[in-house]
Chain A
């Protein structure tokens, strides 16, 4: 899966326009990065990447790159 495809998935769960995220985007700057987006991310990780994401790990994410790294 390409980085672009992964970014598109994150934009979808945060209901952002296509192209609005890049790897360096800081999560704390995103109004759309809220508790509901976190739930959607847990579901995405489980479904698409077969990974269990905990609340503690989510808190450690600072940038979009951190999420992309977890997807590896």
Chain B
């Protein structure tokens, strides 16, 4: 068990960093969104004009999204998803040996929110817990990190939590971002298996484009930036503490690099679009997914879509889209190709056979952790 079953194949002529794991299976997915649903046309017609909001929705495919109340964080949503998953699957807490929380909107600057989740879920001390700071590509990266960790250890079960609340990070009238994002959290259970279940994964990064999506201040770089919002060259009013996205550059990336990775990944795994039951892509926006589908010759019928109701939920969009389609429905076993891409810039693809009976329907909750403040006594 362990490294014997771990095959690293990155020496081929193609430069896809490629992993194949035989012993880890995805055995449960649960997701949670806040209770407040915002209909874009109702909220933004007065801000941008009704016609402009309609055009935005037509192009992006986004008509509504769910937003957190001020007190609720990404870890709260992911906690609710994890609790639901553990209860549904009747998992013994002592068997969970790792918890990885992928987020860009943690509870604190430090410590890792994964440690807070470890406490709240009442997990054993024999457990690793840490955060991973990635966004749209974060779910596929998280799968790789956790499954590799398990393949090289005696960990029986691992929890991958992925959640973001980017609606809290956008300037309120920033037309490039304020209607795009939605808040959500998720929990995915990975288990060691004796069956020959195979997860295959490929990844890339282009750090040269780290400024394409960025919140420039709020950490330790640019720590003297003023909080006042001012007019930027793209016509939007924001501060360095708000999310900035260069939409055109990100779009160029998604229609070139993402189809290239998916095509090379299918070459490497000797598969064609016909070999997959569904394609679960990061829900960047509908226009982008149509472009990716066209370039990779994937039928839109196989491309799962959830952004119309949930918006772009960053790191959560892949499990949320699976839960939206398969939640509490039995479609049997489904071969899926998942791909996440965005901030970093960072992108990856994962193929796996998933038992859809283990995917639960999406919860709605406003609950939050009430012991998160620190006493000054």
Interface residues of A (CB under 8 A from B): 34-36, 38-40, 42-43, 46, 52-55, 58
Q: List 26 A-B contacts (CB under 8 A).
A: A34-B55, A35-B175, A35-B247, A35-B248, A36-B55, A36-B56, A36-B59, A38-B247, A38-B248, A39-B251, A39-B287, A42-B248, A42-B251, A42-B252, A42-B255, A43-B251, A43-B255, A43-B287, A43-B291, A52-B256, A54-B248, A54-B252, A55-B246, A55-B247, A55-B248, A55-B249
Q: Are B291 and A35 in contact (CB under 8 A)?
A: no
**With a CB–CB cut-off of 8 A, which chain B residues contact A39?**
59, 247-248, 251, 287
**With a CB–CB cut-off of 8 A, which chain A residues contact B256?**
46, 52
Q: Of all chain A residues, which has the CB nearest B55?
A: A36
Q: Which of B210-259 contact A (CB under 8 A)?
A: 246-249, 251-252, 255-256
Cβ of A60 to closest chain B Cβ, rounded Å: 12
Q: Which of B334-362 contact A (CB under 8 A)?
A: none
Interface residues of B (CB under 8 A from A): 55-56, 59, 175-176, 246-249, 251-252, 255-256, 287, 291
**With a CB–CB cut-off of 8 A, which chain B residues contact A42?**
248, 251-252, 255
Q: Are B176 and A35 in contact (CB under 8 A)?
A: yes
Q: Are A58 and B291 in contact (CB under 8 A)?
A: no
Q: Of all chain B residues, which has the CB nearest A32?
A: B55
Residue from the set A46, A52, A58 with the largest chain B CB neighbour count within 10 Å? A46
Tell me, in angstroms, the Cα distance from A52 to B236 when the chains sit together: 25
**With a CB–CB cut-off of 8 A, which chain A residues contact B247?**
35, 38-39, 55
Residue from the set A35, A39, A40, A42 with the largest chain B CB neighbour count within 10 Å? A39
Q: Of all chain A residues, which has the CB nearest B58?
A: A36
Cβ of B319 to closest chain A Cβ, rounded Å: 27
Q: Of all chain A residues, which has the CB nearest B246?
A: A55
Closest 3 CB pairs of A and B: A55-B248, A36-B59, A39-B251
Cβ of B98 to closest chain A Cβ, rounded Å: 40
13 new A-B pairs (CB below 8 Å) besides A36-B55, A46-B252, A46-B255? Answer: A34-B55, A35-B175, A36-B56, A38-B248, A39-B59, A39-B247, A39-B287, A42-B255, A43-B251, A43-B255, A43-B291, A54-B249, A58-B248
